[in-house]
Amino acid sequence: MGFFKSIFGKSKTNSSFFDDIPTTKLDEIEKKYNKVVRLHYKLLEKIEMDYRVVINMGDEFSPQMDGVIKDCLTDIGIAREFYNYCKERAEYYKEPIETQVPTYPSFKRLAIIYEKRKEYDKALEICQKAIDIGFIKDGTTGQMPGRAARLYKKLNKLS
């Protein structure tokens, strides 16, 4: 038995085949942010589905819409950590941060909900928070700053 041990090394009964595969910096980044990334995308799916149902029912003041707002706020609560994930990926790839930062739909969705409810101050606050963290993109031409400017204009008309 000693002969085979010297050729094949020690037995690894409690290890996995993958234990011998070296990890890269990217693997470490993905592992570090795995929970936050999974939670973000899970929340996005739920927010979009629930929002569509509530909008088709036609009541933006319903308890169901309050649930959508709560989910948006939960997702926004992890936005800074998600941004850090994007930042570390950009550093790994030696790219500008803008190439790794996607749109973060929960900001846009919540701003839209507040705007529909004519709660322009809350909508503007959400836009500002998105901009402060670094989520400028929202899929529109004016992006989040344009949305904020429009909301600011609406808010000033009420005064």
pLDDT in tens, 2-51: 554 554 555 455 555 555 666 899 999 999 999 999 999 999 999 999 99
Confidence at residue 158, expressed as pLDDT on a 0 to 100 scale: 82
127 is written with which tokens? 């836009």
Spell out the alpha helix ranges (H) of 94-119: 105-116
Nearest to 103 by CA among 62, 134, 147, 63: 134
Report the distance separating Cα 12 and Cα 110, nearest Å. Answer: 52
pLDDT in tens, 86-129: 999 999 999 999 999 999 999 999 999 999 999 999 999 999 99
Distance of CA 138 to the CA centre of its chain: 12
Global confidence as pTM: 0.84
